[in-house]
Structure formats: structure tokens, C-alpha cells
Structure 1
Amino acid sequence: MSAWNFAAGPARLPDAVLALAERSLFARDASGACVSEQPFSGAACRALRAHASRQLAALIDLPADYRILFLAGGAMQQFSLLPLNLAAPGQRVGYVDTGYWAARAALEATLHRPVHTLPPPGDAPLAVPDDLAYCHLTTNETADGLAWPELPAPPPGVPLVADATADFLCRPLDISRFGLLYASAQKNIGVAGLTVVIVRQDLLARSPASLPALWSYARQAEADSCVNTPPVLALQLAALVFDWVAEQGGLPAMAAANRRKAALLYAAIERSHGFYRCPASPPWRSPVTVCWHLPEAGLEERFVAEAVAAGLHHLAGHPRRGGIRACLYNAMPEAGVAALAEFMADFQRRFG
């Protein structure tokens, strides 16, 4: 029986990447050291950063006036670094409240700058005040199963900033729409401990000189993400993943596969006639984090337990939201999603 990992993160790595990592990450070269044992200012580490940057830039069609930073830590660290780098003291920052992680980001920002909370758009366009230092959104809410169907357009002079952790590299994205975009690695990039920050060059000038060097986007850009020792091992894995995505056909191929996988689960939910209930409205349903509920909490517990016995792991919803959650990041094969859809139909036959 195959085992499938639907964890929200740290999430599954592509099989080919995992196999290559086993052979290559700790292989020592003629110097007697693997890359993780060598000085980060040395040739091997410089070559690694250069390769990862080139491959990622090609995948996302990076505009010439943007910089890629590879920073230690996770996306939550950026919740504080964003207002400190992009907003002057006392200047308001905007946060669109679409769910759990958007609210967490806004709450952290309140420690540093005044926060203006924006409701998610309904029939009318998102109304963004023109005095904000930036407008922040979360492209995919992993706890709620929501994804933006269409990006908003803030007023000129208000950069759009996004936490793209959950769906980064899952589909083509027009980087020029953003002033800054960030994504931690443990969902579609590699392993925890690394965050990618993509920032428009002109915004680096906003970083105050008084910021500690480790916190400053400008200082990190000047130092090629090496103000301190970078997370070399996590970056090696990220580079392998970037290569793998390119070999699969790039972001259009990732998007097509993710649409097929999500369609399998949403079809299973719709066919259940209410036994499985998806809280997200169809336009906002995420293609990579599918969330649903059963009629009773006891049934949800039984679903998760029986799923484990069937080789379907880590399907419990976020602790603050409950229910069931299946994360269909790039590395999840369609066969795993088909197995889950089949299990859902069987479970409903027995308990519906």
C-alpha cells in the first residue's frame, strides 16, 4: 500500500529531488568538504547562490528591477520585517483580512506601525487608501482553503506586498504587480529554515539605516543575502527543487497539474451532496489547500484515523479551524489525490 503525505508544511518533497538529495547533498568534493561544510564566501557557495537565483528568476520571469533574497527563518519573521523596512514610524500599513494567516501578519505588524485593516473584496473592488506604505495580502490561506481569484490593484504609490508561501511556484504570477513578495520554503521550495523575498529595487531605499543588518532588506541585498551565514543546506534543496520544476515544464505545467488535482477533490465534495462541506465559495477555493467538514466532529476524527490506516496521512485541519485539509502542493502526485478521492467516496458510502 502506498503512503501519501498531505501535510501543510513541512510538506512532501518531489520524489526525484529527494532521491538526488540523498546522493548529492553530503558528497564531498576534492577539497574534502561538501558544500554545507565550506565557507559561505567561497566559490562553491557563491556558485550555489548564483545558480539558485538564475533558475528561480527564469521560472518566475523576474523583471530586471527586482532582487531575490534568500533569508534565514520563516515567513512569520517577515511579518515584523515588512513594516520595519517599508514603512516610516507612524505611517499606516494596510492588511487585507482574508483568513487566519492574514490576521496573524496584521497582528504582528501592529507591534511596529499603525495597521489599517481591509475587508476582502466582494462585488466591489478593494478600496485601498492612498496614504498607506503598502497593502499586504495572503495569496493562499492554508488554514481556510482560500485563494485570491484575482489580484487587487492598489493606488499608484501603494506597493502590493504578499505572503505567497502556500502557492509560490504553483502557477505563473506577474511579479511586476508586486512591490515585494515573500514565501517560506517548506511547502513548494524545499525544507524549513529558508525564506525567499522578491523585492522591487526602489523599495530597498526605504530600509532605515538604524535597522540591524540582519533585519535590513537593503543590507541583505548589498551582501548577496550573506550578512550572516545563510541556510546553505536549505538553499541546496531549494536549488534542486527549482531545477525539478523547470524540468517538469515550469510554472504552466505546475498550474495545470494543480488544477487537475484540486478538481478531483472538489468533485468528490460536490458529489457528496452535503456530506462533505467546503466552507470556501467556488471563486475563492484554493487549488492547493482543499478544506472541508463532515456533519459531526466525531466523524471527522474517524475520517482522519481511517485515512491513516489507508495510507493517507496528515489530513486533520488547522487546529484553529478544524475539519479536514488536504494540501496538494507541487510535489503531490495525482495518484495520491486520486487515492484520497476514492477513500472519500468509500467513507461516505459507509457513514453517509
Structure 2
Amino acid sequence: MQRAYNFNAGPSALPLPVLQKAQEEMVNYKGTGMSIMELSHRSSTFENVLNKAKDDLRTLMNIPDTHEILFLQGGASLQFSMIPMNFLGAEQVGGYVLTGAWSEKALKEAQKLGQTAVIASSKDNHYRSIPNQHELQIPDQNMAYVHITSNNTIYGTQWHEFPSLNGTDLIADMSSDILCRNVDVSKLSLIYAGAQKNLGPSGVTVVIIKKELLSRIPTGLPTMLNYETHIKNNSLYHTPPTFSIYMLSLVLEWVKQQGGLDAIEKQNEKKASLLYECMDMYNEFYTPHAEKDSRSLMNVTFTLPNKEVTSSFLQLAQEKGFVGLAGHRSVGGCRASIYNAVPLESCEALASFMESFYKGQ
């Protein structure tokens, strides 16, 4: 079977060895006579899967003991509400940095629950860049936290260095770039990420939360929307997405086999460089959406001279086996999402196709 060149933005490519391992274990997981999807989430067999996933994630990301790891449902979108519900006090202000559509959505949910402030935004330049440290305008009010979106799938921008906040808690939606590089987790009070880009299939959300935050959770929250509920029950308060957690565990094992985040980061830099260098070489034809110092390692966004040429590019690309290259409707053009599981060979093939398409015009 010929595998597609999968550049979908999410759900996205999974490592082929992971899919093959899941296929091998699908109907009889480790001699149980059952699929992982049939096992009780209360069984020791499944709890071993969950705990191994936590341990591997902690090792790979060097997550300190000061932080808990949760596997939740509801996607990153539920976290837009859970974060202010748990940590935005009545006399406090939640600070939001706007760098794209998902940060806008996070702000919109927080506004329903308390006071907020936009402390920086790149909306005026159509989200082509990430704000610099000196652009952050932190108000004098009591700041509950500052929220950022570390990578912006639609616009192809990424924080290359997280802001310094002088003691204010930093919260990051890392749905589209978690595990793509090394990050100092100790500098963040909460990280959350939907799995469907770098961690596994859709259905599970990873939350990495600093224990010190828990003392701020107010009484009276709905049980399921209280982080303490899930911490006290090891993410097993109710039936978790067992298959998604199992797949996530396999992906983490694959990342370890690749050499960990040092090796993954180098590979991602190489993949991204192939595409950005091609665009820079033919810059009168391929125009990156993101400014150079804000370019994403995960989502390479660009436009072509006009809609007709773009349509022709996408049609021919599809015929050649490239999937998911159409840009988001709010930006147009094209987007290549090159998450961890997208092999170098796919990026080489795309760069070659882009070069030949340009020369054929």
C-alpha cells in the first residue's frame, strides 16, 4: 500500500510503526484476549498503560515533580473555560496574548467568567508575527495568569522564546507544537494540548499543571470541571478515552526510540528548513504568511500569485499524492503541517514538487 503524503493540520499523521503496533495488538492486547478498547478502565492492565504514558511524558519533557499530568476529554477547547473557572479570581484579571484564532477563542470564553485584558496582539498585521517581550502591556491590576498559544496552526507562527513575566503564572495552549522541541516546563504553570497533532489521535487532552495552582481553585465548581477531581483520581474519575491514551502511549514510546526531543527537534528543523528555503528561493512566487522570525516549525503557510495558480497547484499536488495542503479559509493559499510523524521524505517530496511546479509556470 502506498502511504499518502499527509500534511493535514489535525487530526494529522501518526507514525507508521505506531499504527502497525496498534494493528498487531488490536484484538488481543498482551494476551488478555481482549482489545485495549474492551478493557475496563479500572483494570490494572489499563492503569499500567496510563501510568507508563505519564512516566514517558514526564521523562521526555523533563517535567519536574512540581507539576501533575492529566489526561482529560473535551479537547483544548474545554480548557478555554476550565482555566478561568479554576484560576481567575473575582478581583483578578486574566491576561491574553492574541496571536490567532485559537487565542481569540480562549479569550472569548474567559470573558464570560471574569475580568480579562489583551496584553499584546498581532491582529493588526493579520497575525503574521509573534509579539516581542517589550510589546507586552501587563496592567497594574492583580494578574491571575497570562495565556499564550505557543503555535498557531492557521497562520503558521510560533513562539520561539516564551515571555518573561516576573512571577505571573504563564499558561500555554501547546496543542500544535507540544513535543516538537525542548521546552523548560518549570517556567510554565499550566500547559494543555489536544493530542491530535503530535501526541496521538483525537479524543484525549494532556494537561500539565503546577501543583501550587491548586490552592487557588474555588469551592463550588462542578466536579468534572475541577482539576483537583482528576488529580486525586489519576485521570480515572470517570471513564477516560482509553484507546486514545493507549495510542498516545505508543507515540511517546516511538519518540523515545527516535532519540527523544533532541533528535525530534533537529528533524523538525530540517523538515521546516527544506520548505522555507524553497519559498525563499522562489520568493516572487511563494510568499510565506509568517514573518521570518516568527515562522513555525509545525505549520508552513504560504500563498501563490493568485487563486487560479493556487487551485492548479492544489489539484496537481493531490494527483501526486499530497493530502491536506489547502490553507485555512481565513488565510487562503496553502499550508503544510509537518508534525513529528510527517517523515523527512514527505517534506523532500513536497519541496521538489514546489520547485518543479514553479519552473513549469
Quickly name the TM-score band, shorter chain normalised. Answer: over 0.9
1:286 pairs with one of 292, 296, 310: 296
Q: Look up the equivalent residue of 1:136 and give its one-letter code.
A: H
Please give the secondary structure, in 2, of the residue aligned with 1:274. Answer: coil
* Alignment gaps of 5+ in structure 1: none
1:301 corresponds in structure 2 to 311
* Alignment gaps of 5+ in structure 2: 122-130
1:173 and 2:174 correspond: no
1:151 corresponds in structure 2 to 162
Residues of 2 paired with 1:75 and 1:212: CA distance? 18
Residues of 1 paired with 2:132 and 2:164: CA distance? 14
Q: Deviations over 1:104-137 (max 9, x none)?
A: 2111211212220122434725333362111000
1:24 corresponds in structure 2 to 25
CA drift at 1:231: 0.4
Structure 1 segment 1-352 matched on structure 2, within 5 A:
3-28=4-29, 31-120=32-121, 121-122=131-132, 124=134, 126-129=136-139, 131-156=142-167, 158-351=168-361
Q: Deviations over 1:168-199 (max 9, x none)?
A: 00001100010000010000000001000000
Q: Deviations over 1:286-319 (max 9, x none)?
A: 0110000011122112211111001111100112
CA drift at 1:2: 5.5
2:127 corresponds in structure 1 to none
CA drift at 1:155: 2.6
CA drift at 1:90: 5.0
Residues of 2 paired with 1:25 and 1:207: CA distance? 40
Residues of 2 paired with 1:293 and 1:31: CA distance? 52
Normalised to the residue count of structure 1, the TM-score between the two structures is 0.96
Q: Deviations over 1:4-43 (max 9, x none)?
A: 0100000000011011011113315555433322221221
Residues of 2 paired with 1:123 and 1:57: CA distance? 29
Residues of 2 paired with 1:152 and 1:141: CA distance? 16
CA drift at 1:77: 1.0
Is contact 2:133-2:164 (8 Å) kept?
no
CA root-mean-square deviation: 1.5
Query: CA distance change for structure 1 residues 242 and 5 in 2, over 3 Å: closer, same or farther?
Result: same
* Regions of 4+ moved over 6 Å: none
Residues of 1 paired with 2:28 and 2:324: CA distance? 32
Aligned length: 350
Residues of 1 paired with 2:210 and 2:305: CA distance? 47
Residues of 1 paired with 2:57 and 2:178: CA distance? 11
Normalised to the residue count of structure 2, the TM-score between the two structures is 0.93
Residues of 2 paired with 1:14 and 1:300: CA distance? 29
Q: Look up the equivalent residue of 1:21 and give its one-letter code.
A: A
Residues of 1 paired with 2:9 and 2:101: CA distance? 14
Bigger Cα displacement from structure 2, 35-44 vs 286-295: 35-44
Bigger Cα displacement from structure 2, 114-123 vs 19-28: 114-123
Is contact 2:4-2:322 (8 Å) kept?
yes
Residues of 2 paired with 1:88 and 1:233: CA distance? 36
Kindly, what percent of the aligned residue pairs are identical? 37
Bigger Cα displacement from structure 2, 54-63 vs 98-107: 98-107
